[in-house]
Amino acid sequence: MPISEGLYERACRVIPGGVNSPVRAFRRLERAPFFVEKAQGAHLTDTNGREYVDYVGTWGPAILGHAPHVVVQAVQTAAQRGLSFGAPTLQEVEMAETVCRMVPSIQKVRMTNSGTEATMSAVRLARGYTGRSLIVKFAGCYHGHSDSLLVAAGSGALTHGEPDSAGVPRELAVLTLVLPFNDTPALERAFAQRGSEIAGVIVEPYPGNAGFYLPRPGYLERMRELTATYGALLIFDEVMTGFRISSSGVQGKLDITPDLTTLGKIIGGGLPVGAFGGRREIMDCISPLGPVYQAGTLSGNPLAMAAGLAQLRELESTCAWDRLEVLGARLEEGVRAALHDLNLPFVFKRSGSMFCLHFTSCDVVDLRSAQSADFAKFKPYFLSLLEQGIFIAPSPYETGFISTAHTEEDIDATVQAMRRALKLLT
């Protein structure tokens, strides 16, 4: 028996669904996930010795590919000095200085252990700073699994048909107002009706958790105006897009200044890290300076800081975003040509190294249009790619990630594999 299948049975006996995060399961695909033995660069090897070109990239962090030498070396060096201290270190100061320099809207920053912690803390801070309770979020945007934000969320919650989670009290959910993304009149109405109750608006400026799609021109700018007018905080959740869409995320690319920003994924270089930061007077409301409590035994962990700093420095010193755009454009050109040649009407969305093929013919601008994707078409496409040694996320509602470790040859081979997979649908 292949090792992976035996492992899956063992895993299912002692781990719910056999996985530690639901998106890793292949449940809707009705097959067991493979188990990873190791990964290097753009390639993963499973426990049966099969190799895959990887576009999951550990769901975002692996922007330099897997186990980049500079990051592994930094972690090894840090480990020799100790694994955790519970007292401040130079590396935490360097990380905060680096984040504040790269993302100018951030004047002060706090490190956390995950993106979920970062968004949960940013929401608490917005409520504490404004003295208001209502949070606005957008259908299909995923901000981690904290109670206030697990309402009409994307990602795994969507794949498994659980837009709301059991265990989130209705009394709490009513404090989260959910609006459709890209709908300016809906946003204007919400502020006209309840503007004085709104503590903050949290948004993925480029949503990447219900597939990948983009804001209409002017939409985020109007969101900035309305939040400022009504005294609500604008929170950009750049856990996925931060350090990926540009050195300063989507906010740098679009030149929009949010009040608070949440970060994760890339900032940890593959180790568990998140961060939230923003305007000085808002951040100074956090304990021990202010009344908003937030803490973490392992926050700012020295190994995690070493990994994240090494990754950010490598990205900056190599101008990685230019290279990622070249690779992304090459993939896009290949996929578009394949769709054209096979006369398939599917929608392809991309910015830099983030991409998604939507199995629908209607333009994707929000959750509703993303959900028009045909799962019956995604399934054979995914399984064919896997068979051909290409690993994309096992769900049509996820974003693909290119890394600097991908080569032109990897991209061209992927396009050929995608063409063969798409041909099965004609």
Angular region, 341: left φ>0, alpha ψ -120 to 50, beta rest: alpha
Query: What is the spatial distance between Cα 37 and Cα 2, in angstroms, rounded to a whole number?
Result: 13
Which residue of the set 52, 129, 142, 213 is catalytic?
142
Query: What is the spatial distance between Cα 159 and Cα 178, in angstroms, rounded to a whole number?
Result: 19
Burial class (CB within 10 angstroms; exposed 0-12, middle 13-18, buried 19+) of 21: exposed
Of the pair 119, 159, the CB lying nearest ligand PLP is at 119
Of the pair 237, 410, the CB lying nearest ligand PLP is at 237
Active site residue 366: no
Of the pair 178, 240, the CB lying nearest ligand PLP is at 240
Of the pair 305, 338, the CB lying nearest ligand PLP is at 305
Of the pair 21, 76, the CB lying nearest ligand PLP is at 21
Which residue of the set 237, 259, 366, 410 is catalytic?
237
Which residue of the set 52, 54, 108, 265 is catalytic?
265
Active site residue 142: yes
Active site residue 363: no
CB 36 within 8 A of CB 52: no
CB 111 within 8 A of CB 273: yes
CB of 115 to ligand PLP, least distance (A): 2
Q: What tokens does 213 get?
A: 């799609």
From residue 91, give the alpha-carbon distance in Å to each of 80, 113, 246, 307, 336: 14, 15, 23, 10, 44
Of the pair 252, 264, the CB lying nearest ligand PLP is at 264
User: Residue 23 contacts by C-beta under 8 Å, 6 or more apart in sequence?
Assistant: 59, 155, 156, 159, 393, 394, 395, 398
Query: What is the spatial distance between Cα 375 and Cα 358, in angstroms, rounded to a whole number?
Result: 10
Of the pair 55, 142, the CB lying nearest ligand PLP is at 142
CB of 339 to ligand PLP, least distance (A): 26
CB of 114 to ligand PLP, least distance (A): 4
Query: What is the spatial distance between Cα 398 and Cα 59, in angstroms, rounded to a whole number?
Result: 9
DSSP annotation string for 240-286: TTTTTTSTTHHHHHHT---SEEEEEGGGGTTSS-EEEEE-HHHHTTB
Query: What is the spatial distance between Cα 354 and Cα 184, in angstroms, rounded to a whole number?
Result: 25
CB of 172 to ligand PLP, least distance (A): 18
From residue 302, give the alpha-carbon distance in Å to each of 74, 114, 206: 10, 15, 31
β-partners of residue 234 are 201
Binding site for ligand PLP (CB under 6 A): 114-116, 119, 142-144, 204, 209, 237, 239-240, 264, 274
CB of 5 to ligand PLP, least distance (A): 27
CB 108 within 8 A of CB 278: yes
Do the bridges between strand 51-54 and strand 260-264 make them parallel or antiparallel, or are there none, so unpaired? unpaired
**Amino acid in the structure at residue 205:** P
Query: What is the spatial distance between Cα 407 and Cα 304, in angstroms, rounded to a whole number?
Result: 27
CB of 219 to ligand PLP, least distance (A): 17
Of the pair 59, 381, the CB lying nearest ligand PLP is at 59
CB 241 within 8 A of CB 257: no
Do the bridges between strand 274-278 and strand 400-401 make them parallel or antiparallel, or are there none, so unpaired? unpaired
What positions carry a catalytic annotation?
142, 237, 265
